[in-house]
């Protein structure tokens, strides 16, 4: 399930959109809705959100958008209820007004485009990330599959096994290095964006799995707004 938030600011502010701020706003809405378990322990949070679009450069009275997705409809409904009631939210102390907020479902496809960079660790203890410049696509696809299956089994308490790569063809867009700020600490995250992640055949018994990754996100750091997927209809036609 998905939630599209369209918003604006009435002020001229020297602020850069920061994924930690958006994640914090989402957590705050869920806590206000009574979902206190969202902060319980070191566990996976099953939601994702897109980059800000059509631009991430702050302008007064300009309409910005982002989309939150989750396989858990309660997460989406609770965020919707809080934001729709308040009509405003804050990012790092800056006030933003909601112009429109909309819940919706979306149909599965055999083609996907990334709505935010896909992040994978090479070595999480050393904080080293996959880079398409230095590392193999085979590693990327293998880790993408392992990570997706792990999250699916954890969410549904199942033991699914997929005996093929989760995507058959890839069309690369670019690699990005993002500077994130959390409090007074800054650090870089490397991710990749993709014009197309294609599946040759969508098997009936795997529809549940692909619906899950479409809403939960792929790769790591999904709840920080990485690995967001949008389905694409009639790609390349």
Could you give all domains of the chain from N- to C-terminal order, each with its CATH number? 2-104 (3.30.70.1890), 111-232 (3.30.70.1900)
Alpha helices in the chain (DSSP H): 19-32, 73-86, 137-156, 207-216
Q: Report the predicted TM-score, pTM, of the whole model to 2 decimal places.
A: 0.94
Of 195, 196, 178, 199, nearest to 187 by C-alpha is 178
DSSP lists the bridge partners of residue 114 as: 229
Catalytic sites, residue numbers: 27, 39
Q: What is the mean pLDDT of residues 112-119?
A: 98
Question: Within 10 Å of residue 9's Cβ, how many Cβ atoms?
Answer: 18
| Segment 57-86, tens digit of pLDDT | 899 999 999 999 999 999 999 999 999 999
Please check whether residue 89 is in contact with residue 177, taking contact to mean a CB–CB distance below 8 angstroms. Answer: no
Helices 19-32 + 73-86 axis angle, to 10: 90
When pLDDT is cut at 50, 70 and 90, the band that residue 236 belongs to is low
- Which pLDDT belongs to residue 234? 67
On average, the pLDDT of the chain sits at: 93
Q: What is the DSSP letter of 38?
A: G
When pLDDT is cut at 50, 70 and 90, the band that residue 135 belongs to is confident
CA 95 – CA 91 distance, rounded (Å): 7
Please give the sequence-ordered ranges of beta strands (E in DSSP) within 183-228, or none if there are none: 185-198
CB < 8 Å & 24+ apart, contacts of 57-60: 58/9, 58/13, 58/15, 58/16, 58/17, 60/8, 60/9, 60/10, 60/11, 60/12
């Amino acid at each position: 399930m998905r939630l599209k938030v369209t918003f604006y600011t009435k002020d001229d502010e020297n602020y850069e959109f920061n994924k930690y701020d958006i994640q914090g706003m989402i957590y705050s809405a869920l806590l206000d809705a009574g979902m206190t378990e969202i902060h319980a322990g070191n566990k996976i949070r099953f939601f994702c959100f897109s980059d800000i679009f059509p631009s991430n450069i702050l302008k007064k009275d300009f309409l910005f958008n982002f989309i939150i997705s989750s396989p858990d409809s309660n997460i989406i409904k609770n965020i919707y209820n809080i934001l729709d009631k308040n009509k405003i939210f804050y990012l790092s102390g800056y006030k933003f007004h909601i112009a429109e907020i909309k819940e919706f479902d979306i149909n599965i496809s055999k083609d996907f485009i990334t709505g935010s960079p896909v992040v994978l660790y090479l070595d999480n203890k050393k904080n080293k990330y996959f880079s398409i410049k230095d590392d193999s696509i085979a590693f990327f696809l293998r880790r993408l599959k392992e990570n997706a299956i792990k999250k699916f089994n954890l969410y549904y308490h199942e033991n699914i096994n997929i005996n093929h790569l989760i995507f058959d063809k890839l069309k690369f867009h670019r690699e990005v290095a993002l500077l994130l700020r959390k409090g007074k600490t800054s650090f870089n995250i490397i991710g990749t964006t993709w014009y197309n992640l294609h599946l040759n055949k969508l098997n009936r018994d795997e529809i549940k799995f692909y619906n899950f990754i479409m809403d939960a996100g792929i790769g790591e750091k999904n709840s920080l707004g990485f690995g967001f997927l949008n389905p694409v209809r009639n790609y390349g036609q």
